Amino acid sequence: MNENVKVAIIGSTGYGGVELIRLLASHPRAAVTSVISSSSAGAPIAEGFPHLSEIRTDVLDDVDPALIMSKADLVFLATPAGVAAKLVPSLLEAGLKVIDISGDFRLKSRDSYETWYKKEAAEQQYIDQAEYGLAEVYGDRVKGKDFISNPGCYPTATLLGLVPAIKAGYIDPATIIIDAKSGVSGAGRGASLGTHYSELNENFKAYKVNKHQHIPEIEQVLSDAAGCPVITTFTTHLVPMTRGIMSTMYATIQGGRSLEDFISLYRHYYEGRRFVRIRNAGIWPATKEVWGSNYCDIGFAVDERTGRVTIVSVIDNLVKGAAGQAIQNLNLMMGWDESLGLQFVPAYP
């Protein structure tokens, strides 16, 4: 499986889709051969996205599995919740490889999906077929697969920050508290009072406290890592910026582990994985340090007074939290180096 690949993007007019276009434009082995949007089919994509002027001169296609099949080998779905659940079966049947960036195939339990997403779940057989592509944790399972479910933005930042410590028994899984913050692009391109500039600028707000649909996704992976059910306290906040997620995580340390133990554990766990960077003692990452790139940067503080560790993990929600990790999964599926076409230096300042 070593040829180049032609890809189509369903949901090209959302932020996830248009970021795929940006990133894939410099991928050496993948070419975007169809940009697809049910709502804007027929219009030149650069009309709605002038930053693509003279870069992409093609017209948006409609969602049509036969048409997609005639143009592409693999399709990314960057669609709202509930859409991929219905589309994916026909795409797989048509013989396409599929990477779903929406949350429709992440939860193994249909009940859980319906509880948290308030939508009808996908059919169980397709859920079972989907490989959950948290690249640095489950990357080995992705290789050679045809259907990948790409992790959510909050789960990516959070899980990369917690999995090694849980697997190694360094923290008590019952004590995990996750305080997460996201830039506004995570809310998507839909216009609402909740995404209005004047409402969000010079404002910091909490939302969906204990109610965010990424909670079961996080708990599913943490439970898998711990070998027992894990439940967490998870709060989401909106930061007046466009891109970036920080997950600040708290847990009680087990086994008297020190700051150096944590740093060393994580460096070992992520050895050879180019996109996770562990900060030295006393340094915590900031979201800007990964802006526009596929990195996840992690730092630690150990408080001997309280016996707790504080883990700070940052990603660009549209890259490592969506389009970038999806391309990383594409690379893994194809048996290529996972960093192919993704070696961007973060944009600073």
Q: Which residues are catalytic?
A: 153
Of residues 2-31, those binding a copy of itself (CB under 8 A): 15, 18, 21-22, 25-26
| Contact characters 41-60, a copy of itself, x per CB under 8 A | --------xxxxxxx-----
Instruction: Report the site for a copy of itself in 292-311 (rule: CB under 8 A).
Output: 292-293, 297, 299, 301, 303, 305-306, 308, 310
Q: Are 259 and 199 in contact (CB under 8 A)?
A: no
Distance CA 87, CA 84 (A): 5
Q: What is the DSSP string of 22-56?
A: HHHTT-SSEEEEEEE-TTTTTSBHHHH-GGGTTT-
Nearer to a copy of itself, 110 or 237 (CB): 237
Give me 144's structure tokens: 């050679």
Least Å distance between CB 41 and a copy of itself? 18
- Residue 209, SS3? coil
Query: What is the footprint of a copy of itself within residues 100-119 (CB under 8 A)?
Result: none
Residue 337 DSSP code: -
Q: Pick from 116, 266, 269, 291: which binds a copy of itself (CB under 8 A)?
A: 291
- What letter represents residue 320's amino acid? K
Q: Which of 284, 323, 327, 333 binds a copy of itself (CB under 8 A)?
A: 284
Sheet holding 5-10, edge to edge: 30-36, 5-10, 74-77, 97-100, 147-149, 131-132
What contacts 43, CB < 8 A, 6 or more positions away? 59, 60
Looking at beta carbons only, is 235 or 254 nearer to a copy of itself? 235
| Interface with a copy of itself (CB under 8 A), residue from 156, 220, 232, 329 | 232
| Contact between residue 24 and residue 5 where contact means Cβ atoms under 8 Å apart | no
Least separation in angstroms between residue 54's CB and a copy of itself is 5
229 is an interface residue for a copy of itself by CB under 8 A: no
CA atoms within 13 A on the CB side of 267: 12
Instruction: State which of positions 148-187 bind a copy of itself (CB under 8 A).
Output: 177, 179, 181, 183-185
By CB under 8 A, the count of residues binding a copy of itself is 83
Q: How far is the CB of 138 from a copy of itself (least distance, A)?
A: 23
Which residue lies nearer to a copy of itself by CB, 4 or 233? 233
**Cα 284 to the chain's mean position, in Å?**
21
Per-residue contact track with a copy of itself, 253 to 282, x per CB under 8 A?
Answer: ---------------------x--x-x---
**What is the distance between the alpha carbons of residues 75 and 99, in angstroms, rounded to a whole number?**
6
**Residues 7/33, Cβ–Cβ less than 8 Å:** yes
Taking the complex as a whole, how short is the minimal distance between the CB of residue 147 and a copy of itself, in angstroms?
A: 28
User: At closest approach, how far in Å is the CB of 58 from a copy of itself?
Assistant: 14
For a copy of itself, which residue of 9, 153, 225, 246 counts as binding (CB under 8 A)?
246
For β-strands 308-315 and 296-303, DSSP reports them as antiparallel
Binding mask 185-224 for a copy of itself (x = CB under 8 A): x---x-xxx-xxxxxxxxxxxxx-xx--------------
Give me 183's structure tokens. Answer: 């830039």
Tokens representing residue 172 in the block: 């008590």
* Residue 292 near residue 314, CB atoms below 8 Å: no
By beta-carbon proximity to a copy of itself, the closer residue of 61 and 316 is 316
The residue among 18 and 91 lying less far from a copy of itself, judged by its C-beta, is: 18
Decide: is 233 part of the binding site for a copy of itself (CB under 8 A): yes
Question: Binders of a copy of itself among 326-345, rule CB under 8 A?
Answer: 343-345
Give the residue, chosen from 146, 172, 288, 339, that forms a contact with a copy of itself under the rule CB under 8 A. 288
Residues 100, 149 contacting (CB under 8 angstroms): yes
